Amino acid sequence: MSGSQAAGKGAEAIPCAEGEQFEPKIVAFLCNWCSYAGADLAGVSRLQYPTNIRIVRVMCSGRISPMLVLRALKDGADGVLVSGCHPGDCHYLKGNLYTRRNLQLLRSMIEFMGIEPDRFQMSWVSASEGGKFADVVKTTVEKVRKLGPNKKFTTEKREGGE
Amino acid sequence: MSDLSDEKIREEAKKALREKGLKCVIGWNAEGTPTFASTAEEIDKLAFNKSSVNNLVPYLTYEIRSQRGKTRDGKDKVVVPVGIVVRGCDSKALLLLLNEKILARSEVFIIGVPCTGVVDPHAGGALFRKCVKCAMRNPVVFDVLASDKVQEDEKDYSEVEAIERMSQEERWALWEEILADCIRCHACKRSCPVCYCDECLLDPTDVAVKMDTSAEEKAYRPRWVERSVNVPENLVYHLARLPHLVGRCVDCGECERVCPRRLPLRLLTAKLEKDVKDIFDYEAAKEEGQKPLIAMSCMEDDNGFIM
């Protein structure tokens, strides 16, 4: 599908089973008011972006606790994207600001423990930024594709199987 | 430290027991065992020396919270105040609990003891690593002090900085080895003075998920971390502990002290504390009436890592 088109140039392919390009699985938590509407706009505007992304809609990015990010990574996601309204535009006024504090520290701790911080991405996408959403997904997928499969969080992949 | 401060602890404890009607005074005996003294004879056994290693604040939280509740006619039960002997690091944890309104200042009688470090029983007479350079030797909250204040050191983050300088592969190799050693006994979580929730998301649930388990039942008891002990689960366990300690960990080092595998868990909390200081210029339990870091939102926070 469009995934192969959008893989882009710079991405170095990690060889998979039969020399195929590694396709990462990415869980995206999008807030209902801005980012989900932005993703919707990207779809309506027929913008192409990789299909590696699995969207979970939440009412506010303030709902994203670090546990959700960790659980997604542990259950086999290769990357996690959290997206919300721009600071100051939150439907609930401050939800995204709380999340920014929490997740900034989580990202730093992940890095400290030797996990690639790029597996966790965060973005602000407003309802009118369909193009930005497509770009964010492209960047995220490319970054995670470079990192390869998420082995540190999962037992099965650690033992060799997929 | 000296017999003099022991005398002072006993004298003040007896006075408070008599005048304030304390339920008991929590302290250490001469061997360093936590002791609950509720009579004058028991108070005579209280002491503070190099083997007073336990942080007694979790006992205090339990003693007071177990008294809470409602009477038959719907009024709050009267809480009998409890006395406690605290070192500098313990007093920070206690101040945090007071700030978070888990305990009320009127419910506790605090005897502070300035401390020059306690001995690690596993290190052959040497001080605990956290005690070698300590920035909180003097109690920050107390009713009486048992001895004169002592000189404090600068906060030392050299171990954390050494790991920060490593490459990512080296860091993972280090932590993978540490995590593979963890037996997930949850001692670090149980002994933490600022982890006081009755129900914890890291507790293993005993709800078996079967074919007929409804979505609702599953949603009520999510199992964030599986019971199996392996590197990924241990990683998530330790990473999940940290967001709960953001701006709250006072670096008392109990998690590291109680660890039966002697894992360097204080590296994680020290790194967290350092980040909180560097990024948000915030320090846990710095003053009375301080607001929690996570409950404050700020438009001016760093946006650099966000696309």
**Which domains does chain A show, CATH number per domain?**
22-147 (3.40.50.960)
Cβ pair A140, A81 in contact under 8 A: yes
Q: Which chain A residues have a beta carbon less than 8 Å from that of B176?
A: 114, 152
DSSP H or E stretch at residue A112? helix A95-112
CB of A76 closer than 8 Å to CB of B127: no
Q: Which residue has the higher pLDDT, B108 or B197?
A: B108
pLDDT value, residue A13: 46
- What gap in Å lies between CA B150 and CA A96, rounded to an integer? 44
Specify the length of chain B in residues. 307
Mutate which of B166, B297, B303 to test chain A, going by most A C-beta atoms within 10 A? Answer: B297
Beta bridge partners of B36: B26
Q: Please give the pLDDT value at position B197.
A: 86
Query: Does residue A10 carry a pLDDT above 70?
Result: no
* Reported confidence tier of residue B206, pLDDT bands at 50, 70, 90: low
Cβ within 8 Å, pair B276-A154:
no
The partner residue sitting opposite B243, judged by closest CB among A106, A139, A158, is A106
Measure in Å the smallest separation between the Cα of B281 and chain A Cα atoms: 13
Can you tell me the mean pLDDT for B106-110? 93
A111-B271-B156 Cα angle (round to 5):
140
d(CA B26, CA B15): 15
Amino acid at A41: L
Task: Give me A159's structure tokens.
Answer: 């033992």
Please list every residue in chain B whose beta carbon sits closer than 8 Å to the beta carbon of residue A94.
297
Domain boundary assignment for chain B: 3-69+77-145, 158-295
The answer to whether the CB atoms of A67 and B174 lie below 8 A apart is no
- For B224, the closest of A71, A101, A139 (CB atoms) is A71
Is the pLDDT reported for residue A3 higher than 70?
A: no
Distance between A57 CA and the closest CA of chain B, angstroms: 17
CB–CB contact B239 A123 (8 Å) = no
Average pLDDT over residues B35-41: 93
Query: A121: part of which helix (H) or strand (E)?
Result: strand A120-124
**Which ipTM did the prediction report?**
0.86
| Contact residues of B toward A, CB < 8 A | 163-164, 168-176, 201, 224, 230-233, 235-236, 238-240, 242-243, 246, 268, 271-272, 275-276, 279-280, 293-294, 297-299, 301-303, 305-307
pLDDT above 70: percentage of residues in chain B: 98
Query: Residues B22, B64: contact at Cβ < 8 Å?
Result: no
Q: Which residue of B has its CA nearest to A88?
A: B299
Chain A residue whose CA is closest to B307: A123
Band (pLDDT 50/70/90 cuts) for residue A54 is very high
Alpha-carbon torsion (B247, B248, B254, B258), positive or negative = negative
What would the pLDDT profile of B244-265 be if each residue is shown by its tens digit?
999 999 999 999 999 999 999 9
pLDDT digits (tens, 9 = 90+) for B143-153: 999 888 999 88
